[in-house]
Amino acid sequence: MKVIALLLLVSQFAVAQQSRGINVSPNLYGSVSPQPATGSPISLSISDAIDRALKYNLGAIISEKDTQAARAERLRALSELLPKVNASVTESMQQINLAAFGFTALPGVPQVNGPFSLIDARARYVQTPIDFRFLHELRSKAQEVTASDYARLDVRELVVLVTTDLYLEAIAGGSRLDAARAQLRTAQAVFDRATDLKLSGVIPGIDLLRAQVELQTEQMRVLAAENDLAKQKLNLARAIGLPQAQVFTQADGFVTSVNSLPGLDQAISIALESRPDYRRSLVLIRAAEESLKAAEGRRLPSVQITADYGDIGPTLGFSHGTMNLTGTLLIPIYTGGRARAEILDSESLLEQRKAESTSLRERIEYEIRTANLDIQSAAEQVRVAQSARDLAQQQLVQAQDRFAAGVANGLEITQAQESVATAEENYTSSLYGLNLAEAALARGMGTAEKTIKSFFGGK
């Protein structure tokens, strides 16, 4: 039962995020380690862990590159409206058969001319100053750059949330290990006492056997807790860019009381103003609107200017300048249905973006409401679990006294020890749930990067 409870608790964060509709990418659990492990342990606060994760987490790094790619797409769209200038120098050797062109009897002109050379040095200029399709595509790409910036900020929020969860899991693992070691010391003391009482003939052999079984059970729990904590620290190090061989201790512990939180309506209002993913959804709507205008622009006239200037002649020393300037008004008459297809596609994308934004707005309210419910429930669970833990400790002390006095058998002590173990687990789980719920509320409001450090004593 203890192992099952532990496995359920480890997966609690991922399940909670999926239930809220939050897509947690596997990239958020990877990182790039910038340096090798040091030879001595380091102290790691939750603020330090978050700062490292924002620099070295793989999800944060990839989001930066995605933003860079969006800027490249905007430059590519801008290039369609900017002038293109190039220069070339060509030299050709020709021999012409005039008869092939119908000139068969020109007096004094040979039928075959050449070979002769021709050199052309020329600069060319091309620009499309008016094209509504390219203009609106540029505006759409500019909106996508803004949306990519918001996506990057949203990834940073998720990086903070994931780092906080992994740090809290390691704190919970440390608490479980401390509790298991304390229970092991108690079991060892009970076993030692039972051995003395058995040698004195006060208790039967079955009570000594029970004490020995309980001692070995607690030894197994300590071993399991040590292994779990080691893996939880590896997970945390993996997400924040610490080398896997780096030994560290956690400087922060659980917050045992509820922080000062805004009211429900205020939290929703803050979220709609601060959530990067919601602001991104609004920008994507504007980008889709510009894409629709770009599709409609395919039906509108465009203007193109071409010009060139250069020297042409048999040699560069014997040449003459020539130039050309052309303005073209292109009027689409029939595009084979391509314009209509692009319009339909853009309209579909626009409606999709609007639906996604509306759904996200509702999901944000859902996340905030569920986080508030989780905080209220977890706070009450902490209160009850703390009281139950105190009572379980008192029960164990009384059972030990009764056993030493010979008025109770070893079964009563075993049951009391199991009650203490259960109470300790419930208390640790409730504290983990409370701290995680507060972090989830900060994420729900879009202020995780700004507030989680202060929640846990950071600066």
Percent of the chain with pLDDT over 70: 94
* Residue 211 pLDDT greater than 80, yes or no: yes
CB within 8 A of 202, min separation 6: which ones?
A: 406
- pTM of the shown model: 0.83
Residue 360 has pLDDT above 80, yes or no: yes
Phi then psi for residue 447, to 5 deg, are -125, 25
CB–CB of 147/357 below 8 Å? no
More confident residue, 259 or 263: 263
* Alpha carbon distance 35, 95 (integer Å): 69
pLDDT of residue 400: 82
Residues 248-258, mean pLDDT to the nearest whole number: 89
Kindly indicate the confidence band of residue 198, based on its pLDDT and cuts at 50, 70 and 90: confident
The confidence score (pLDDT) of residue 415 equals 85
Query: Closest Cα partner for 111 from 125, 120, 100, 124?
Result: 100
What pLDDT was estimated at residue 458? 53
State the Cα–Cα distance between residues 357 and 293, nearest whole angstrom. Answer: 20
State yes or no: pLDDT of 12 exceeds 70. no
- pLDDT tens digits along 158-192: 999 999 999 999 999 999 999 999 989 988 988 88
| Contact predicate 236/437, CB 8 Å | no
Average pLDDT across the chain, whole number: 88
Instruction: Look at residues 169, 136, 175, 210 and name the one whose alpha carbon lies nearest to residue 418.
Output: 210
Q: Report the candidate in 378, 377, 419, 381 with the shortest Cα–Cα distance to residue 398.
A: 419
For the residues of 371-419, what is the DSSP string, one character each? Answer: HHHHHHHHHHHHHHHHHHHHHHHHHHHHHHHHHHHTSS-HHHHHHHHHH
Read off the pLDDT of residues 95-136 as tens digits, 9 standing for 90 and up. 888 888 777 767 777 888 778 888 999 999 999 999 999 999
Mean pLDDT, residues 372-380 taken together: 92
Q: What is the mean pLDDT of residues 310-323?
A: 86
Instruction: Tell me the Cα Rg of the chain.
Output: 37
C-alpha 62/C-alpha 458 separation (Å) is: 27
- Asked whether 456 and 436 are in contact (CB, 8 A), the reply is no
CB 286, CB 143: distance < 8 Å = yes
* Ordered domains of the chain (ranges, CATH): 2-81+131-299+336-455 (1.20.1600.10), 84-130+300-334 (2.20.200.10)
Q: pLDDT tens digit string along 391-439?
A: 998 988 888 888 777 777 778 888 888 888 899 999 999 999 999 999 9
Strand partners, 308: 124, 324
